[in-house]
Each structure stands twice: as C-alpha cells, then as structure tokens.
Structure 1
Amino acid sequence: MSSSSLGLSSEQTVKLLQFQDLTGIEDLSVCRDVLHRHRWDLEVAIQEQLNMREGRPSLFATEARPPAVIKDHVAQQIFSDDDNPDPNFRGGFRGLFVFVVNFVFSICYNFVSTIPSILFSIFRGDERRIVTDPLGDVMNFINAYSARYSPHPVFYQGTYSQALNDAKQELKFLLVYLHSDGSSDTPNFCRHTLSDPNVIQYINQNTLMWGCAVESPEGYRVAQSVGARKYPLICVVVLRENRMTIVGRIEGACSGELLISRLVRVLGDNEVYLVRARADRFERSLTASLRAQQDEAYEESLRADQEKERRKQEACEEEARKRQMETDLAEQEKKRKIDLVNSKAEMALRLPNEPPASDPQSMSFLFKFPCGARLERRFSISDSLEDIQNFVFSHPLSPEEFEITTHFPKRVLECSGETKTLHEMGLKNRDVLFVNDCNA
C-alpha cells in the first residue's frame, strides 16, 4: 500500500516513512493509525512505541471502565496438550488402550488435585478474590519469573485492565499468559517454550503479552473471568466486531515450534478484524477531518458574510448619515437665507427716510453692485456711514458680506467706533460707491 493511497499530505508522508524506518513496522496503515492517534507528533509516537516494546503502558492505558472480554465459544480456537502427537499412538487396540488410560489418569489427577484446592479455599476464605494491588501482583510475577526463567517475551508492565485498553486502542493482539507453579507442565513450558528465541521474537513483534500468577489475587481474578481450566494457559484476545473477544486458547505445555504454529493460525484467522478496524477507524477519522474542514470552511464563509454584511451596514449607515447631514445643512442654509431675507426686510424698515431731491441737505450716491446693477439713492448729509451700509445690506441684490469703496481716490468706507456724518466722511454729492463681494 503506497502512502498516496492513504490520503496523506507530503509532510505526513515524510513522517510516515520516518516512523516506519525507526520502528520497523512494515504495515503502512498501522504506522498511519499510530501517528494519527498522536496527532502526527513523530517524537511522541516513536516514544510510545518504544515504551510498549519495553512493556510499559501507553498514554491510553487506563483502569477506568476496561472493555468487557467476550468468550466466543463457537469461533474460539482451543488447543490443548492432548492435541500433541503421541509417538506411542499407532492406532488400533493399543492406541485405544493408551487413550483410555490417559483419559482415566487425567480425570483422576484433576479430581485429586482439585480436592486440596477446594479444602484450601474453604479454610482460607475469599482472600484471593479481593484484589487490592493489581499492579503489584503483576510486577511481582514479572520479577519472580525473570529471576527463574530467562530469556522470555516482554511482559506488559500494567494491570489486566490497562493491557486490554492498550490492545484495543493500539489494535494489537493481546496474549494473556496465566502462570501456575502448581502445574507440573509449567517449568518445562517456561524453560523451553517461552525461552525459545523464535517464540520470543514472534510474540514481541506481533502481540502484547500480559502475564500473572494465578496464585495472586489479580491472576486469580483474570483466571476466573476467562474460565481457565488447565495451566499454563495462553488466551489470545483481539478487538473483533467492536468487542474484545477471546479467539484462541492454548492450554497446557507444547513445544516452541508448535506454539508458534498455533499463534500463526489464530492471528492469521483474526487479522482481518484488525485490518477492518483500522480501516473503519481511519474512515471515521477521515470523515471527522472532512467534517471539521467543512465546519471550518463554513465558519470562515459565515465570518466573511458577516463581515460583508457589517461593511454593507456601515456603508448604509454612513450614506444615511451623509444624507442626513446634507439635509441638515440644506435646512440650515434654507433657514439662514430666510433669516437673511427677514433681516434685510427689518433693516429696510429701520432705514432713514430718503430726503426729497429739492432738499439742499441731501446727497445722492450711485451704487454699483457686483451683479452689474446700478442703484441711486439720496441721503441726508447728517446721515452716517452705517446708514449707507444698512441700505446696501437691505437691498435684495446685496452680497451677504461686502465692502463699500469710493471710485477715485479709492478707499474703503469702514465704520469706526466714532460715528461720523457723510459730510464728515468726505463724501460728495453724486459720488459713485462700489459694492464689492468679500466672498468672491
């Protein structure tokens, strides 16, 4: 399976190949699954694999609500030392006789060995049923086993519950080894079978192995849960159809070669469930990733739409504010012009009366407005310059702000604090006065 078929980016592909090179895991889908669970943190994923190879629990190991173990009696493969080829069995009457003798001996032995156990349990009570330190029971077994039998496969250094959780999370086969010093087959099985280098290599590469002595509370509890009948016992547990299921049992002693062949058969028959679980898990993660991307894209689109709507709203509000401002300014301008017209009208009413042309005390002035209009008006020589300015202001053709200048010599007629008559201002009859717009 190529990395491109796994739906990975170039960066993820590089990490996948590095992880495979450092861990030696051949299946790329397994490597991808491990990296995905660790959020593609290469360092954490590698350290986790090294921890598991040394038997230490992973980050996922927990004793809270361990998965239930199903004993599938129909699909479960059971191997016993009775299945071992007997060189004395040649068929016929002799073979039948040997079989009957062995069968009777087995029944008698089991009956005789069971009576002391029953009596012992009666007088001892239920002390073995009370599990107070499951991790201590496991570590005591590992230390005692390592002191007596070496080498051996890597034993999981955690409780049975932790081993189940790790096997389920890591999608690995879990070998549950139940050790009993009371079984006559145990020493030979430990010294030869579990010490076989080929057995050790196969178990370490393909499974997690958890072991405990049935004489301890933790081992006794597990033995009762799996229905142990004969020791040494190896149970093969795997995630099958979303349930941790016992798919194989190897009861009693056997050779290393036979143990490997049995494990190969059980693991091979049930590997499809792990492959299916990995595919389902990847499909779920891919679906969740796509959903997260879709949600992110939707949120981004929503934020963009909201931002667009906000800008549009701000533009509309700004446009409304400008229109309102223009309306207010127009109203103010309209009011100002009305006030100006009213002011001109009031000013015209306050102007001194125009003297008759026959009055010798009158002076006539010609006013030229910026628009080109000419206007002649008579004033009394006793009138002031302010009267002239008021006259110009009150006229409809007058600019709002203006100044009055003489023709020659040109000078600006300004009202000072001292009130002077037209005569005192030096104005003469028939003078031409220019009205200039100050805002022009």
Structure 2
Amino acid sequence: MFHDGDTSRGVHFVQLSHREAVAFAQRETKLLFVYLHAPAHHESELFCAQVLADPTMTAYVNQNFVAWGGNVRDGDAFSLSAGLKPTGYPCVAILDSVSGGSGSASLVMSCEGFIDVDVLISACEEALAGQNASLDDARARHAEVDASRRLREEQDAAFAESLARDAARARELDAQREAEEAERRRVEEERRAVEEETKKAEEAERQRVEEIEARRASKASKLRDEPADGADGVSKLAVRLPDGSRAERRFHSTDTIADVYDFVDTLEELDEVSYSLVTNFPRRTFARSERVSLVDAGVHPNGAMFVQTESS
C-alpha cells in the first residue's frame, strides 16, 4: 500500500527512503507524516482500512503534510522505528525537519495503537499548531531565498541578454565595417581601373597624335613640288576631308595614288592614322600601296576624291 503508483486515492506516500523524505519535507517546509506498519499486529490492517483509507483523513494528510510509510519488516522502516522506539502498532508520528534546518528531524507527535480518524486528525492539528510559528519562519526564509534566487536569475538573465545584445551589435558593426571596407576596396579598385584605362587611352592618343605629326612632317619633307598651273600634263585634284573641308592640289599626270596619299598625310585638317581614298564616279577605293597613275585612276585632268575613315 506504500508504493502504489495511483495517487488519485489514499494517502500520497512519497516513494523515497525515510532520510530522503525528511530532506524533501524540509524543502517543502512541511512536517513529515510517518506511518509505521507492523503486519504482525492485528490492528494494523484495520487501521489502514478504516483510518488511513478514510477520505477525510487522506485529504487532510495530503493537504498538510509530506507523507511517508514503511513496513517495519523492511530495513528502512525498521531503522526508523528503532530511532522512534514506539511501544505499540500501528504507529503514526509527525517529524519536524524544517525548524532545525540541519537535515535532521525531531519528533513532534506520535500515536501508537489503533485510534480513529477524529482523534488522529485532532492530534495532528495540535502538532501543526505547535509548529506553525517555526514553519511560517522557515517558509518566510525559503520565500526570501527563493526571491533572492529568482532575482539573481533575473539579473543573470538580463546580464546574459545584455551580453547577447552587445555581441549581436558587435557582430553587426563588424559586418558593417567589413561591408564598408569591401565597398571602399571596390570603389578604389574601380577608380584605379578607370585611372588605368584613362592613362592607357591618353597614352594611345598621345602615340596616335605623335604618329600623325611624325607622318605629316615626314611626308611634307618628301612631297614633290606642286607643278605650275596651266603646265602640260597637270592633273587638278580636289580631296574632301572627313570634317567637310576640301583640299586642292595640282599633280603631274604621271603621279600615282601613293603621291596623293602623301599629300593628304600632310594636311593639318586630317586627324586620322588609317584611312582610304575613294572616288565616287565610278566608285572605287584605292589602297595606300597601289601604284596606279592618276590617268589610270580616272582623275586626270580633273578629279575628285574623298577620305573615308573607319568611323565614316
């Protein structure tokens, strides 16, 4: 009857050793209701059936005490009975493990032999009344300890939460700094790339201009003198440039397209490295390397050509 798992009826005896029950009652700040069962005593079974199983008794014990019971034939209950030294059975005792606070228990009340429900409840009530002051003090101390513990836990939790927030903020700031640093590096790399491209473009333009100027100077120094107007075998040629301007010159009819290229190369209005000379009627493109005379090119005694660039 002391180890029945069903706590919905009867006295709720804790499933612990009696020393563990003493410690448990101290933590619960309740007196310990002890029942020592002696099967050899004929009144023991009657006491269990008529007193301990009585609904009023069970409700009273379960509400006011921590209950522990044992058979004196078992070692644990036998050890406790040796300490209590009851003179008869069944035996009910009330132990106080709360007031001392040292883990030991003192005997508050004991009833030996068969007694009815009313008498047992009256004896328990008297025992409770005598211990109420010390129980209240103990409960107040426990409440204070619990309040202090809860306060510490709340403070620890708040501190941990603060640390977590600080850590999260630190991670956020680190991530922000990393993102800013990555953006700074990207902008710097982009700036350097643009700067490098600009330098390359400037260098290419400088080389292009130098090439044009060098070519212009070289061709001007080698260009044959322009024949006199009205002389025999003179070809008059007009060349239209990409900017819309026109350049005119007289050539010998025996001059070639290469000589026309040399002339065009000297013009300040021309700002191109590569270009082609083209006639319109009939449309024909002449390469720089062609050694075609002006007569064979169809531009003698008068003719017109235009400069065609890659972009035009």
TM superposition score category, shorter chain reference? 0.5 to 0.7
Describe the SS at the equivalent of 1:177.
strand
Q: Which has the larger radius of gyration?
A: 2
Could you give the per-residue CA deviations for residues 159-190 of structure 1, whole angstroms, max 9, x where no partner exists? 56875787788x56473636263998x94976
What TM-score does the superposition give when structure 2 sets the normalisation length? 0.65
Q: After the TM superposition, which parts of structure 1 deviate over 6 Å for at least 4 consecutive aligned residues?
A: 164-169, 359-362, 416-419
Which position in structure 2 is the counterpart of 1:276? 144
Taking the aligned partners of 1:421 and 1:161, their CA distance within structure 2 comes to 130
Task: Report whether the alignment pairs 1:333 with 2:201.
Answer: yes
What TM-score does the superposition give when structure 1 sets the normalisation length? 0.49
Q: CA deviation at 1:155?
A: 1.1
Task: Report whether the alignment pairs 1:175 with 2:48.
Answer: no
AA aligned to 1:332 is K
Which position in structure 1 is the counterpart of 2:58? 200
Q: Could you tell me whether the CA contact under 8 Å between 1:347 and 1:390 is conserved in 2?
A: no
Q: Could you tell me whether the CA contact under 8 Å between 1:364 and 1:379 is conserved in 2?
A: yes
Which position in structure 1 is the counterpart of 2:188? 320
Could you give the per-residue CA deviations for residues 200-251 of structure 1, whole angstroms, max 9, x where no partner exists? 2133235543333455334466x49xx943444433445x99x774576334
Distance 1:181 1:191, change over 3 A: same
Which position in structure 1 is the counterpart of 2:257? 384
Taking the aligned partners of 2:276 and 2:284, their CA distance within structure 1 comes to 7
- 1:159-238 correspondence to structure 2 within 5 Å: 159=17, 171=28, 173=30, 175=32, 177=34, 179=36, 181=38, 187=44, 194-195=52-53, 197-213=55-71, 215-219=73-77, 223=80, 228-231=83-86, 232=91, 233-237=93-97
Taking the aligned partners of 2:57 and 2:263, their CA distance within structure 1 comes to 123
Distance 1:251 1:325, change over 3 A: same
> Which sits farther off after the overlay, 428-437 or 321-330?
428-437
> Which sits farther off after the overlay, 293-302 or 375-384?
375-384
Describe the SS at the equivalent of 2:296.
coil
Q: CA deviation at 1:420?
A: 4.1
Which position in structure 2 is the counterpart of 1:294? 162
Taking the aligned partners of 1:334 and 1:316, their CA distance within structure 2 comes to 26
Q: Could you tell me whether the CA contact under 8 Å between 2:257 and 2:288 is conserved in 1?
A: no
Could you give the per-residue CA deviations for residues 309-364 of structure 1, whole angstroms, max 9, x where no partner exists? 22212221121111011111112112211332343356457759322223867755
- Aligned sequence identity (%): 16
Taking the aligned partners of 1:358 and 1:388, their CA distance within structure 2 comes to 17
AA aligned to 1:229 is L
The structure 2 residue matched to 1:356, chosen from 218, 225, 229, is 225
Q: Could you tell me whether the CA contact under 8 Å between 1:175 and 1:208 is conserved in 2?
A: yes
Distance 1:220 1:354, change over 3 A: farther
Q: CA deviation at 1:153?
A: 1.1
Describe the SS at the equivalent of 1:156.
coil
Taking the aligned partners of 1:202 and 1:333, their CA distance within structure 2 comes to 102
Distance 1:349 1:261, change over 3 A: farther
Taking the aligned partners of 1:369 and 1:425, their CA distance within structure 2 comes to 19
Q: How many aligned residue pairs are there?
A: 287
Distance 1:355 1:153, change over 3 A: same
Describe the SS at the equivalent of 1:424.
helix
Describe the SS at the equivalent of 1:249.
strand
Q: Where does structure 1 lack aligned partners over 5 or more consecutive residues? A: 1-139
Taking the aligned partners of 1:257 and 1:361, their CA distance within structure 2 comes to 155
Q: Could you tell me whether the CA contact under 8 Å between 2:11 and 2:67 is conserved in 1?
A: yes
Task: Report whether the alignment pairs 1:311 with 2:166.
Answer: no
